[in-house]
Amino acid sequence: MVDGSTCGGSRSRRGELTTVSGLSESEPLPGFHHAAVFYRGLEDLVEQVVPFVAEGLAHDQPVLVAELPDRTQALTAALGEDAGRVEFLDMVEVGRNPARIIPAWLDFVAAHPGQDVRGVGEPAWAGRTAAELEECQLHEALLNVAFDDVVGDFQLLCPYDAGALPEDVLAGAMRTHPYVGPVDRAVEYGGHRHATARFEGPLGAVPTDAIEIPFVEEDLPGLRSVVRRLGEGARLREDVVDDLVLAVHELATNSVRHGGGAGVLHAWQDSRAVVLEVSDAGVIEDPLVGRVRADAWSESGRGLWMANRLCDLVQVRSSDNGTRVRLHSWL
């Protein structure tokens, strides 16, 4: 399933030796400054984040905060009148599928060309499923790939609730952020190599009782019918079923066109979601495919971009062993 183009050479790592204000005594250099901050409780979150936001406002920098509603309420109260100068997004909506978060940051940076900007984004929170938290970690790793070549200065602060999140998620945050605070780093920053390794890594095994349907081009109409029956059988809303059918069709078409002419659909249901996985022998070389907006007339990235917009959670892994795209629609 080749749904994009090669990254094209190595990316620079501007900012990897600098820091976000408040996490080091060194002065940041221009570039992307990606930091994780660990907090315990709303009061601690406010103490960690408000000075970072206020400093940006003092320098007339555009600031975007993507947070959960209760965090947004606490930060708004602490900022007072200055809250009106900050753009807020509901991370529960924007980040429901973590693959949608990078496009939001790309839009924010593009809306302020030539300006230094700041952002706050909390993609991982207690209550997320294991699959969602796994995708949050991939998202954080890919942020470095997406923005390390950014022109100007983009400072992004990612809060992590150290009192509620599993230890492996906190360790993952250290692996995906060049800067962490206010705790001692227990795990080294992994850089682009870590992002690539996660993208090329495995997904969890397909359940042994999952439906398995090999397909070629002639099978695509029947495949759509199968997906519709599965969605209706799980009592998904009609619009959700329509979205799922379209997403699978786009991915299966990619398999036929770019993945060797054939693929396999696996389908199953767990306690939370209807899960559909399309796999084939193709290789995706750009881990940002589906996270960078695809032109309507372009074949490159269109299928995965649509899938990320249509489904509650999308997991993509690709290596020399082939490509797997797993779609989740919540029950």
pLDDT digits (tens, 9 = 90+) for 46-66: 999 999 999 999 999 999 999
181 and 61 within one domain? yes
Q: Beta 153-161 vs 31-39: how paired, if at all?
A: parallel
Assess whether pLDDT exceeds 70 at residue 8: no
pTM of the model: 0.90
pLDDT at 295 over 70: no
Closest CA to 247 of 288, 325, 303: 303
CA 37 to chain centre: 18
Q: How confident is the model at residue 1 (pLDDT cuts 50, 70, 90)?
A: low
Are both 69 and 163 inside the same structural domain?
Answer: yes
DSSP letter, residue 319: E
Cα-flanking dihedrals φ and ψ of residue 55, to 5°?
A: -65, -40
Same domain, 167 and 225: no
CB 236 within 8 A of CB 197: no
Q: Give dist(CA 226, CA 217) in Å, integer.
A: 15
Name which of 9-18, 83-92, 279-288 the model is least confident about. Answer: 9-18
Distance of CA 62 to the CA centre of its chain: 22
Residue 249 lies in domain = 211-330
Show the DSSP H helices in 83-166 as ranges: 91-94, 101-110, 130-147
Bridge partners of residue 326, in order along the sequence:
277, 315
User: How distant, in Å, are the alpha carbons of 193, 211, 219, 258, 304 from that of 244?
Assistant: 33, 16, 17, 21, 13
Average pLDDT over residues 310-325: 97
Query: CB–CB of 171/133 below 8 Å?
Result: no
The mean per-residue pLDDT over the stretch 148-165 comes to 92
Q: What is the mean pLDDT of the chain?
A: 90
* 218/277 same-domain check: yes
pLDDT at residue 12 in the model: 31
Query: Is the residue at 201 inside a domain?
Result: no
The residues, ordered by sequence, that sit 6+ positions from 270 with a Cβ below 8 Å of its Cβ are none
Q: How far is CA 118 from CA 109, 156, 190, 223, 309, in A?
A: 9, 6, 23, 45, 25
Asked if the structure places residue 125 within a domain, the reply is yes
CA 42 to chain centre: 24
According to DSSP, residue 205 is labeled P
Tokens of 327: 């779609």
User: CA angle, 87 as apex, 86 and 88 as ends, to 5°?
Assistant: 110
Evaluate whether residue 116 is within a structural domain. Answer: yes
- Strand-pairing partners, residue 319, are 322
Looking only at the bridges linking them, the beta strands covering 322-330 and 117-121 are unpaired
Which CATH number do you get for residue 85? 3.40.50.300
pLDDT at 18: 31
Q: Does 220 share its domain with 181?
A: no
Residue 17 counted as domain residue? no
Structure tokens at 9: 């050479």
Q: What is the DSSP code (8-state) at residue 239?
A: H
pLDDT in tens, 224-261: 999 999 999 999 999 999 999 999 999 999 999 999 99
Instruction: Evaluate if residue 312 carries a pLDDT over 80.
Output: yes
- CATH, residue 223: 3.30.565.10
Question: Are 244 and 312 part of one and the same domain?
Answer: yes
| Mean pLDDT, rounded, for 298-309 | 83
The answer to whether residue 172 scores a pLDDT higher than 60 is: yes
- C-alpha span between 202 and 247 (Å, rounded): 21
Identity of the amino acid at 268: W
What pLDDT is recorded for position 29? 54
Could you tell me if 62 and 141 lie in one domain? Answer: yes
Q: Do 92 and 143 share a domain, yes or no? A: yes
Lowest mean pLDDT segment, chosen from 80-84, 148-152, 211-215: 148-152
Listing DSSP states for 261-308 in one string gives SEEEEEEEE-SSEEEEEEEES-----TTTTTSPPPTT--SSHHHHHHH
Q: What is the pLDDT of residues 92-143, one digit of tens each?
A: 999 999 999 999 999 999 999 989 999 999 999 999 999 999 999 999 999 9
Examine the pLDDT at 30 and tell me if it is beyond 90.
no
The rounded distance, in Å, linking the Cα atoms of 39 and 22 is 14
Number of domains in the chain: 2
Q: Do 177 and 218 belong together in one domain? A: no
In 10 A of CB 121, how many CB atoms?
22
* Cis amide leading into 28 (omega within 30): no
CB count in 10 Å sphere of residue 37: 26
User: Do residues 239 and 141 share a domain?
Assistant: no
- Rounded to the nearest 10°, the torsion over CA 168, 329, 99, 292 is 160
**Same-domain status, 176 and 219:** no
